[in-house]
Amino acid sequence: MRREIPPDSLKATEGVRVRGSLVRRSAVLSQLSQLSQLRLLPQLSLLPMLLLATLTACGPGDVAAPSGPAAPAAADATFPRQATTDELVTLRRAEDILVRRCMARAGFRLPTAPEPARTGTEPPPMALVLADVPWAREHGYGSRVRTPGETDRLRANDPVGDYLRALTPQRRGEALRAWQGGGVDTVEVTLPDGATTGRSTRGCTSEARGELYGDFRTWFGADSVDRGVTSLAMSRAQSDPTYTKALRRWSDCVARRGLPHESPGALRAALGDTAPVAKEVEYAVTEASCAMDSGLAAVAGDVEERHLADVRERYRADVTNARRMRLAALPKAERIVRDENASRQNTQKNNTQKNNT
């Protein structure tokens, strides 16, 4: 049911259309001129050299054991290794700390947010399908599904949100601009699937990322494309004939068990992100045991790796840069987190002493 565009807005829409096509064409032209004149940023032209250094220094022996059960395919060994989940957590924490300091400089002393609850073991890979029955029986889908109580508690314990809501609307607007840059001085990049994504280079979030990873613009492009590579590969894997053939058997299997859904994605969507534990476990176990019984588990890993390798190869420079920049940022991130923890402990100690006297 589309709403008809009222006649009086046609003129405006016409103007928009012309403007839209002009914008698009000029974007293409600027890309052309960038390519033909190789007017790349100095940082960008440096990166291939870094990349080469990485490639020569990083043989298969340097590839750390992945944190997930999926073994890296041989093709992946020609890239710098992926950061482990623990390392990503450190990077995320360091980024948060830098953002908080930046917001304090801008006049907003954000209260300490509760540490995100990363409880339990790291989940097995489940981008395409969850295939680990014992894990499913114990953890369901892990932290991606919460009980209603957990969701309520999460929403209730939001000191930063409370702080923001207590500000005047004007101050709140200022806080958001300080944080996210207010939509000015944006950069954008074309993702592997063709979509254009962008964000402001201003604001504490982007500033913190620039500080941590060396250069925000380069980081934004590399990180966005790297994530886009995974998304595109997953999309392609799901339409791969080998996968879809096994998927039909999986779908029959879950239907026989009372959950008639076409794909793991559809099954999870039906469950939602908030569900009682028993229901979550029922869905997860059904997904996983049918993955084993139907043979979907056996093909999913291969199909996924094949498409990942294919798309990664096409975006080798971006994937390499993103991984390289994460690894390069780690020592700094660890230092930032360590210093922050130390100063927090000192503060707590001082407070305790004060309370005791």
Partner 1 sequence: MNMKRYVRGVLATAAVIGLVAGAAPAMAATDAGPSATAAAPSKLGAPTPVRPGADLSALAAADGADGYLYAYDLPNFSGDWCRWDRDDEWWGNDCGNFNDRATSLWNNGFPGYFSEVALRRDVSPSTNQSSFCIEAGNYYADLSLGYEKFLDGGWADNAISAHRWFTDDADYIHDPHYAC
Residues in 279-308 that interact with partner 1 by CB under 8 A: none
Of 123-162, which residues contact partner 1 (CB under 8 A)?
Answer: 123, 125-127, 142-144, 154-155, 158, 160-161
> Which 3 state secondary structure label does DSSP give 72?
coil
Cα–Cα distance for residue pair 273/356, rounded to 1 Å: 45
Q: Determine if 218 is a binding residue for partner 1 (CB under 8 A).
A: yes
The least distance separating partner 1 from the CB of residue 353, rounded to whole angstroms, comes to 31
The least distance separating partner 1 from the CB of residue 356, rounded to whole angstroms, comes to 34
Q: Which x/- pattern over 173-212 shows residues binding partner 1 (rule: CB under 8 A)?
A: xxxx--xxxxxx-xxxxxxxxxxxxxxx--x-xx------
Of 51-80, which residues contact partner 1 (CB under 8 A)?
Answer: 66-68, 70
Q: Determine if 244 is a binding residue for partner 1 (CB under 8 A).
A: no
Neighbours of 195 (CB within 10 A): 11
Cα–Cα distance for residue pair 329/333, rounded to 1 Å: 6
Helix (H), strand (E), coil (C) string for 73-115: CHHHHHCCCCCCHHHHHHHHHHHHHHHHHHHHHCCCCCCCCCC
b/e code 235-270 from CB counts within 10 Å (16+ = b): ebbbebeebeebbeebbebbeeeebebebbeebbee
Of 220-239, which residues contact partner 1 (CB under 8 A)?
Answer: 220-222, 225, 227, 230-232, 234-236, 238-239
The least distance separating partner 1 from the CB of residue 345, rounded to whole angstroms, comes to 23
The least distance separating partner 1 from the CB of residue 273, rounded to whole angstroms, comes to 7
Nearest to 101 by CA among 178, 184, 159: 178
Q: Determine if 111 is a binding residue for partner 1 (CB under 8 A).
A: no
Beta strands in 85-216 (DSSP E): 186-190, 196-200
279 exposure class (CB count in 10 Å sphere: 0-12, 13-18, 19+): middle
* Residue 130, token pair as written in the block: 């969850």
Owner of token pair 């890239």: 79
Of 13-32, which residues contact partner 1 (CB under 8 A)?
Answer: 13-14, 16-17, 19-21, 23-25, 27-28, 30-32
Of 327-356, which residues contact partner 1 (CB under 8 A)?
Answer: none
Q: Looking at beta carbons only, is 52 or 342 nearer to partner 1?
A: 52
Q: Looking at beta carbons only, is 314 or 349 nearer to partner 1?
A: 314
Q: Looking at beta carbons only, is 103 or 290 nearer to partner 1?
A: 103
